[in-house]
């Protein structure tokens, strides 16, 4: 049989290698429009910033290595311009020569990927305005920085690539401005979780322009003059456009293949398109969200690799392997913090009308008595009916990646917050705690579900009419507290119950929520209306932008 794959990188290259392992006799052809067939696009920002020094290390496979080991016919600079489904062939244009020819196939796998979105802003095509999607893009940015030695840069878009480029350019010594049209960084997170990143970016000298759009680019003495929608103007030596990607579906659409509601190629759970002889994988396809059940565009390397493997098995072996869907699990480094996400966010659940509950915990990466423990803040979202885990967001130092992977595994397995309390996780002082942060997040959620505590969220104290009760020590209270709060240390609470009103709700808080929980338990068992502020003043301070460092 003859398998033709359109596009390389994660999905296409994985499909080709898997197909060869499954069928030694198959004829396998990869047609790749670009210069490189398989490269680590997730590493591009770190190449620009100098952390990855060797360009060659970004090349996972080359045409030569794929030919030598797998006997795959790889043709780069080859643009597939049409598909003749009835005849089972594609038309190919060699970009370097202009020659066109036809290539037949028995099965076809489309892995066209996605292209960077370039907003229709005047001057977006000027020298010094870049997008970052492939190795040549990274080389152009790196060459610009090394030759021009700009003092400043402006990044448009505060998603994963945008934040990675902010950090990389900052590490090169540039003053960096970050422009994001919504009023937070990393929009995949909820605003309260993203607020920790906002502080970290500002602490590292990044000038944030949130809730603002770039409206124009003009040449200037510094390099470029950027007009913003709030009326301000920023001069920068280069601009990085990182406002998202758009699935490359032109070829599929022209061939009459069905597209989904999100604009991606429609595939079934076998990665088959509406044509049974054509499969599609990667950033261009819509896949099922494992939490909501909706079809979504999820442009991540991990799912693309798995899809490529499944499509190859089904195309070459006639197998019926299933791609169940994706959780969109992701992690990004932002200077000294890591931010990770899995499943659905609270804002997305609210938009879809999915009922959910939220708990915040602030634990440490390992035992606090062992040096170097770093705090991580976990926002857990779960169903009120049965505690099913719907999503999680974690921001902190070391160990964030480990915990988000545990939670991704738990969601995939259909586990609930009750199951998190029973996970038997590895513990030694340099690596974890006897009560792991994941266990702690489960305990906090369990207390909410079982009615052990009524949880309040960070945006509830203002105007609630409740008595705000701070159960920290007087020294902690003096260093900063919620407006109109009364200080009554936890250890003195029982002896002072008579001083508190029984006809008014009491909202209890501490630093991270544990003492507040104990205080709320004491009060509720003594006849008071009490709720605990989930995540304590740490969450409140970050989410409200109070400026308190607690």
* Spatial contact of 251 and 83, defined as CB atoms under 8 Å apart: yes
From CA 460, how far away is CA 246, in angstroms rounded?
Answer: 38
From CA 438, how far away is CA 417, in angstroms rounded?
Answer: 9
Closest of 435, 290, 419, 304 to residue 368, by C-alpha: 435
Helices (H), 261-399: 301-317, 346-351
Return the structure tokens found at 473: 């020590």
The angle formed by the CA atoms of residues 463, 392 and 47, to the nearest 5 degrees, is 115
User: Coil, strand, or helix at residue 192?
Assistant: helix
| Beta-strand pair 38-39/59-61 | antiparallel
Residues 6+ apart with CB under 8 A from 105: 2, 3, 4, 29, 88, 89, 90, 277
* Spatial contact of 278 and 168, defined as CB atoms under 8 Å apart: no
From CA 192, how far away is CA 97, in angstroms rounded?
Answer: 53
* Spatial contact of 117 and 243, defined as CB atoms under 8 Å apart: yes
From CA 253, how far away is CA 243, in angstroms rounded?
Answer: 24
Residues 6+ apart with CB under 8 A from 450: none
How many angstroms separate the first and last alpha carbons of the chain? 64
User: Coil, strand, or helix at residue 299?
Assistant: coil
DSSP string for residues in 467-489: EEEE-S-HHHHHH---TTPEE--
- Which are the catalytic amino acids? 42
Q: How many CB atoms lie within 10 A of CB 494?
A: 11
User: Coil, strand, or helix at residue 308?
Assistant: helix
């Amino acid at each position: 049989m003859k398998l033709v794959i359109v596009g390389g990188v994660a999905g296409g290259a994985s499909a080709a290698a898997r197909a060869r392992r499954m069928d030694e006799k198959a004829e396998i052809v990869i047609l790749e429009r670009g210069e490189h067939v398989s490269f680590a696009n997730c590493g591009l920002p770190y190449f620009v910033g100098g952390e990855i020094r060797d360009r060659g290390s970004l090349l996972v496979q080359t045409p030569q290595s794929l030919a030598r080991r797998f006997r795959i016919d790889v043709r780069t600079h080859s643009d597939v311009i049409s598909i003749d489904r009835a005849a089972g062939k594609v038309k190919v244009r060699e970009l370097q020569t202009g020659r066109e020819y036809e290539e037949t196939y028995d099965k076809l796998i489309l892995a066209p990927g996605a292209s960077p979105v370039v907003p229709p802003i005047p001057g977006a095509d000027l020298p010094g305005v870049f997008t970052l999607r492939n190795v040549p893009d990274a080389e152009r940015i790196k060459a610009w920085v090394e030759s021009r030695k700009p003092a400043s840069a402006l990044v448009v878009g505060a998603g994963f690539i945008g934040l990675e480029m902010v950090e990389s350019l900052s590490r090169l010594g540039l003053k960096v401005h970050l422009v994001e049209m919504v009023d937070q960084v990393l929009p995949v997170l909820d605003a309260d979780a993203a607020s920790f990143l906002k502080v970290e970016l500002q602490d590292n000298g990044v000038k944030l322009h949130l809730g603002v759009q770039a409206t124009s680019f003009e040449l200037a003495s510094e390099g470029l003059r950027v007009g913003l929608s709030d009326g301000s103007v920023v001069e920068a030596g280069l601009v990085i456009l990182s406002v998202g990607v758009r699935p490359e579906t032109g070829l599929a659409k022209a061939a009459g293949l069905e597209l989904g509601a999100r604009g991606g190629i429609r595939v079934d759970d076998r990665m088959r398109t509406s044509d049974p002889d054509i499969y599609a994988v990667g950033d261009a396809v819509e896949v099922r969200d494992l939490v909501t059940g909706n079809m979504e565009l999820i442009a991540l390397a991990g799912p693309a690799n798995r899809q490529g493997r499944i499509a190859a098995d089904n195309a070459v072996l006639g197998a019926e392997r299933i791609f169940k869907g994706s959780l969109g699990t992701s992690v990004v480094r932002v200077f000294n913090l890591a931010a990770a996400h899995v499943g659905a966010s609270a804002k997305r659940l609210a938009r879809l009308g999915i009922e959910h509950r939220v708990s915040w915990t602030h634990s440490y990466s390992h035992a606090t008595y062992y040096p170097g423990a770093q705090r991580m803040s976990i926002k857990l979202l779960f169903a009120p009916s049965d505690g099913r885990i719907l999503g999680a967001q974690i921001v902190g130092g070391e160990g964030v990646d480990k915990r988000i992977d545990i939670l991704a595994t738990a969601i995939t397995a259909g586990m609930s917050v009750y199951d998190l309390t029973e996970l038997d996780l590895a513990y030694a002082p340099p690596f974890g705690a006897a009560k792991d942060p994941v266990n702690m997040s489960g305990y906090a959620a369990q207390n909410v579900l079982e009615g052990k505590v009524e949880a309040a969220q960070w945006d509830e104290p203002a105007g609630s009419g409740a008595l705000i009760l701070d159960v920290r020590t007087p020294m902690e209270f003096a260093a900063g507290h919620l407006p109109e709060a009364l200080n009554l240390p936890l250890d003195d609470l029982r002896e002072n119950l008579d001083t508190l009103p029984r006809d008014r709700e009491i909202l209890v808080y501490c630093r991270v929520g544990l003492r507040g929980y104990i205080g709320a338990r004491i009060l509720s068992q003594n006849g008071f209306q009490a709720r605990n502020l989930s995540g304590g003043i740490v969450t409140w301070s970050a989410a409200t932008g109070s400026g308190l460092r607690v």
